[in-house]
Amino acid sequence: MLGETTDMAANQQDPESNYVEPDWEAEGKAAGDEAMAQGRGQMLSDVGWSCYFDVTFNNDWHDDIMCSNGSSYDRPYLRQDDDFVNEDELWASALEYEAALNGR
């Protein structure tokens, strides 16, 4: 009985060893492409550009914003001269960037 337990433990894998980081940007683009194919993207592009929080998990908040007009995507690198960016600063810069994209 003891030998069986040891054999089972030897056959178990660490679940983290099989983990693959998702490609969130590609998934977002795929969702946008699907929306366009279904006719929903046109409504979004009529509204203009919209920016939203989209974590990159790269320990750099400067690029944790994604902007889209429903058919195109843009990931700006905000506040380049700021060594440490907090969430409020990031959102303020994202809103400025969004306004610039929309020509306001």
pLDDT digits (tens, 9 = 90+) for 48-73: 999 999 988 888 888 899 999 988 99
pLDDT at res. 77: 92
Does residue 32 fall inside a structural domain?
yes
Q: Give domain status of residue 25, yes or no.
A: yes
pLDDT interval class at 41 (50, 70, 90): very low
d(CA 104, CA 99): 5
Regarding predicted confidence, which is higher, 102 or 22? 102
Domain range holding 78? Answer: 21-101
Give yes or no for a contact between 67 and 25, defined as CB atoms under 8 angstroms apart.
no
Which letter does DSSP use for residue 22 in this model? -
**Residue 9 counted as domain residue:** no
Say how many domains are in the chain: 1
- Does pLDDT of 97 surpass 50? yes
3-state helix, strand, coil in the chain (%, to 5): 50, 10, 40
Q: Flag whether 40 is in a domain.
A: yes
- Vertex 103, ends 101 and 104: CA angle to 5°? 110
Q: pLDDT higher for 87 or 1?
A: 87
For 83, the enclosing helix (H) or strand (E) is: none
pLDDT of residue 59: 84
